[in-house]
Amino acid sequence: MAKRKKNNVESEQPLSSNVHIEDAGTVKNEVITETITKNFMPYAMSVILSRAIPDIDGLKPSHRKLLYTMYNMGLLRGGTIKSANIVGRTMQLNPHGDASIYETMVRLSRGNETLLYPFVESKGNFGKAYSKNMMYAASRYTEAKLAPICKELFDDIDKDTVEFVDNYDNTMKEPRLLPVTFPSILCNVTTGIAVSMASSIASFNLKEICETTIALIKNPEHVISDTLIAPDFVGGGFVIYDKDELEKIYETGRGSVRVRARYSYDKSYNCIDITQIPPTTTSEAVIDKVIELVKANKIKEISDIRDETDLKGLKITIDLKRGTDPDKFMTRLYKITPLEEAFPCNFNVLIDGTPKVRGVREILNEWTKFRLGCVTRRIKFTLDKKRKQLHLLKGLSKILLDIDKAIKIIRQTESEADVVPNLMIGFGIDETQAEYVAEIKLRHLNREYILKRIKDIETLENEIEDLEKTLSSNTRLKKIIISELENVIEKYDTGRKSEILYEISEEQEDDTPEVPDYPVTVFITQEGYFKKIRTANLRLSGEQKIKEGDRIVETVECSNRDEMLAFTTKHQVYKAKIDDFQDTKASVLGDYIPAKLAMEEGEACNYIAVLKEYKGYMIFIFEDGKLAKVDVGAYQTKTNRKKLINAYCDKSPLAAAFYLPEDTEIVLCCSNGRQLLVNTALISLKTTKNTQGVKVMQLKKKNDRVVSAHIYSEGEFEKPWRFRAKNLPAAGALLSAGDIGEQLTF
């Protein structure tokens, strides 16, 4: 209890009602690194150690808590029960809420097809990992139980094989690790993103992993690739064999594995049926990409594509046009769609509570070390139990010498508490043995029963001797692990699901890398900063960050594949692709264009045009009242030139520039206040970039000049006809009170 003084009177209050926070409400000057260390590091460590990175038993804490709860519920045998019941019970160990627990169960289930060797048998709709639209049903509608392979996860867990710790509220005990009898860490795909690190572990065939482990136990110098051919994925497909890359993964734990979809060709319907896809994509992503390529006129061989997935499994059907070679077409499709993708490998595993990126050899060695510890603890547990039993039986054997004496001692003892001490004195046995004798039922106090029990002494002594030899022999312990691994192979091997492609015949295609196509929004500031943000991320973005005194002058929605033309103050144009700029976010300034495009010293941007294709016009308005309309195709080059000189006329300063896909009306603003409305269709098109253009605005005085221009907005002027001229050049008109009001309102 904590005491507090109020009006000089001490009263006792529970600590919870009088919590004192040190330095609460005060502003302190701290070094930022110290603040981050004190506040952020505990969170980071929690995410790394307790959420995202798997341990050597192949499980994350959320997986382990769920499976252990199901084990305690007796779901290793018997029928399925409602998932909601399992989720509710799991919350005793996992405080993160029912939604996240159920999602964990879904991913562990056979029905979802996420794991090569699922741990949960499912009944009902558990969704599909290969489809983002095929969502799982609510937990009240589905049922589950543990898969048979979970016996290998919990084997002898009640024999002190692993350490138990308190749960989050100290009301229960839970295993820190599960005593898995095979290296499950490499048998199922495991991915996780922590703080400043991540983990991505590919799945391997159980038989190959167990055989590799056995070979390593027998010979630490064993060549991994001799027994472990390549990863194996639940979705099947083809794993493209790359010996150098696989050996790099086996040794370092980093690299990537290319996985290709499996298809069949139906000649009668002239269609391709895709039945297996890489684990990193979904059927919707494949279909959307193909449709996108068809719309972009990059694929012309397809007449239709549809998702025919049913209860039999995944099926994407592509109808081909007549005369299309299906194999050549699929070879091309592999290159430009997610039908072939690389699975990234980053074997980051918690080893003794520390995240470490390790190769297959080191992970299997660490697992063997862990399993040796489990087997040793199990043998010690069994040995202690047999020693206690032997000790009791030896005490019982002394009773055999004189059963009548034992009965007499018990009958003549007046106090119940004195029975055990009197037996200890009468037969020279210790308290534990005497307690055991005293608890024997009266019906068992016969010579036959006691002789039968004493016969077990010799058997126990032999078993204890054998267990002691096993404990002292590392070779015998390893033989036990090898025997268990061989048993796992015999019981659970189902063969490979992913076929291995050793040789690939590919058509020679254009080596130009495919630029990813997705919608982006481009922001250009007055001082020349360029920022590209995925349009899909814009709704999550806050206010755009810009330099003090700067402002955004242009916002363009376009594609990542579009190009840009940057016109500069030195009458040059620099060409670049939107893809050349990295995707960013609202909280950064973006790229400084003069630096990014390597402009000359003192050169700055006048205008940036974003083009999907070289169609339309560039409009240049000069201070002397002239307007030049240049075909944008004049800036297209057959070679990959990045810079063009004489991009526009240098006879008069540039007042404004526009890229117009088609003709429209432009408002020219003069320094004398007059404005002129000009339709660009009236201006003749030029193919010479640095053309002087034609005079469109008549300047009244010598000092008058065109100061700006903009694209006309409907309703901008009260009487637009006042600003249009029948003949060019024209002086334009002054704004009326109504025009000013309209513009202010606008």
**Residues labelled catalytic:** 141
Give the pair of three-digit tokens for residue 93.
């160990």
Distant-in-sequence, close-in-space partners of 414: CB < 8 Å, separation ≥ 6: none
Query: DSSP letter at 510?
Result: -
Q: Which amino acid type is present at position 433?
A: Q
Pair type for strands 499-501 and 238-240: parallel
Other CB atoms within a 10 A radius of the CB of residue 222 amount to: 18
Angle at 55 between CA 54 and CA 57, to 5 degrees: 115
Cα–Cα nearest to 349, from 359, 337, 336, 341: 359
User: DSSP states of 390-422 as a string?
Assistant: HHHHHHHHHHHT-HHHHHHHHHH-SSGGGHHHH
391 with 433: CB under 8 angstroms? Answer: yes
Angle at 175 between CA 486 and CA 76, to 5 degrees: 55
- Upstream peptide bond of 344 is cis (omega within 30 degrees of 0): no
Give the pair of three-digit tokens for residue 17.
């009602």
Which region, left, alpha or beta, applies to residue 149 given φ > 0 means left and ψ of -120 to 50 means alpha? Answer: alpha
CA atoms of 78 and 45, how far apart (whole Å): 39
Q: Is 193 helix (H, G, I), strand (E, B) or coil?
A: strand
CA atoms of 48 and 350, how far apart (whole Å): 9
361 with 249: CB under 8 angstroms? Answer: no
Residue recorded with tokens 């109504």: 738
Q: Is 191 helix (H, G, I), strand (E, B) or coil?
A: strand
Q: How many CA atoms lie within 13 A of 395 on its CB side?
A: 25
Q: Where are the beta strands (DSSP E) in 509-594?
A: 519-525, 529-534, 552-559, 563-568, 573-577, 591-592
Q: Is 668 helix (H, G, I), strand (E, B) or coil?
A: strand
Give the pair of three-digit tokens for residue 354.
């520390």
Spatial strand order in the sheet of 271-276? 262-266, 271-276, 316-320, 302-307
CA-to-CA dists, residue 175 to 67, 190, 385, 532, 572, angstroms: 11, 20, 21, 48, 70
CA-to-CA dists, residue 564 to 180, 469, 539, 613, 659, angstroms: 57, 78, 25, 10, 11
CA-to-CA dists, residue 374 to 159, 275, 483, 500, angstroms: 9, 42, 15, 35
Task: Output helix, strand, coil percentages for the chain, rounded to the nearest 5.
Answer: 35, 25, 40
Nearest 10 degrees: Cα torsion 707, 712, 718, 720: 90
